[in-house]
Amino acid sequence: MLDLPSSDPTPPLAMDALSEVLQDFRLTGVNYGRCELRAPWCLDFAEQKLLRFHFVSEGTCWLHTEANGWQRLHEGDLVLLPQGIAHELADCPNTPAGTLKRCQITGFGGNVCSVVQPGEGAVTTLFSGSMELGSLALHPLLEAMPEILQGCDVASRDPLVKPLLDTMTAEAAQPRMGSATILSRMADLVTARLIRCWADSTTSSTTGWLAAIRDPSIGRALAAIHREPGGNWTLERLASVAGQSRSVFAERFSALMHEGPAHYLGRWRMQLAHAWLAGDGLAVADVAFRLGYESEASFSRAFKRIVGKPPGLVRREGSGRKDMSFGF
């Protein structure tokens, strides 16, 4: 059940619910590499819970994934892999994998590096990055996205993407003081714009999270939950945010999301809790307070029921997590 009803008035929310979710979008732990590779070469990228991108600034290459096989990438192409699936990049499909050991990797401080494979073959220059979301607000949207997003196709109506990519390539080519910070900010902007372009151009979804966030009424309620996960979100209060009666709201929410508001709210809170415990190392009591629970014990019971593990164990397991690498 949801919490007891609250009589506190709820302020009106912005009509663009997707913008509500996007506004706190930040990338953290971003790692960049400028790769100058001479054929033959093939780089493996293991599956990680990271958003990855590759931009071909010079030459051509091939991208391989299990689901899509080999795809040709040309100069100026950008690919975004929202779920960080395993993949390979190569000068041609029949080049053996694992040529990273022949590369010269130079760190420039912070999170920028240069990867060079010398040789006599044709050169391909890539600007690649792996990152994680500092805010979990976009995770449901990223999960709805395809495994591979051809950024240049999606952003064909956005005139700012190409100049931003050119600027990022130039900055990575000659790193200077502050380059890591500058690249991080530009990556935020490029990725957010690509995600927005994809969401704007995707019209086939009739149910699911993307359809729900676009719904004028349900979208406002979803945005409110994501912005204030620890709020006293009763069915009555969420319906008021949506501008609907409780019965109409509950029925419409369930039809779009394939689950009720209380179930979604509980899952979302525990997803946030898991990230705060395992990733940020927050104390269980602090997480319980953030999410609006009256006691640590009540939060722990809810967490174990939904996640299947006690929160203390998740926190201890997360404390041994390795730092994120560039992803090779």
**Are residues 161 and 193 in contact, defined by beta-carbon separation less than 8 angstroms?**
yes
Q: Is 301 exposed, middle or buried (0-12, 13-18, 19+ CB in 10 A)?
A: middle
In order of 16, 164, 247, 265, 324, the CA distances from 235 in angstroms are: 22, 43, 9, 11, 40
Run of H or E including 89: strand 87-90
Residue-wise over 157-178: b if at least 16 C-beta within 10 A, else e? Answer: ebeebeebbeebbebbeebeee
Domain count, the chain: 2
Share of the chain above pLDDT 70, in %: 83
Domain boundary among 171, 201, 231: 201
Domain boundary among 156, 176, 201: 201
In order of 17, 29, 109, 199, 234, the CA distances from 145 in angstroms are: 18, 22, 33, 9, 30
pLDDT at 1 over 50: no
- 129 and 256 housed in the same domain: no
The answer as to whether 19 is a domain residue is no
Instruction: State which amino acid sits at residue 75.
Output: E
- Contacts of residue 233, Cβ cutoff 8 Å, sequence gap at least 6: 2, 3, 224, 225, 261, 265
The answer as to whether 77 is a domain residue is yes
- 284 and 179 housed in the same domain: no
User: 84-129 pLDDT, tens per residue?
Assistant: 899 999 999 999 887 777 888 887 666 778 889 888 899 999 888 8
Domain boundary among 201, 236, 253: 201
- Contacts of residue 229, Cβ cutoff 8 Å, sequence gap at least 6: 265, 268, 269, 272, 290, 291, 292
The answer as to whether 274 is a domain residue is yes
Q: How open is the CA angle 68-166-192, to the nearest 5 degrees?
A: 60
CATH (domain of 174): 2.60.120.280
User: 250-290 pLDDT, tens per residue?
Assistant: 999 999 999 999 999 999 999 899 989 987 889 999 999 99
- 222 and 88 housed in the same domain: no
**Are residues 138 and 209 in contact, defined by beta-carbon separation less than 8 angstroms?**
no
Residue 234 domain boundaries: 207-318
- 196 and 211 housed in the same domain: no
3 or 88, which is more confident? Answer: 88
User: 138-188 pLDDT, tens per residue?
Assistant: 678 777 888 998 877 776 778 888 888 888 777 767 767 777 677 767 777
DSSP symbol at 1: -
- 107 and 164 housed in the same domain: yes
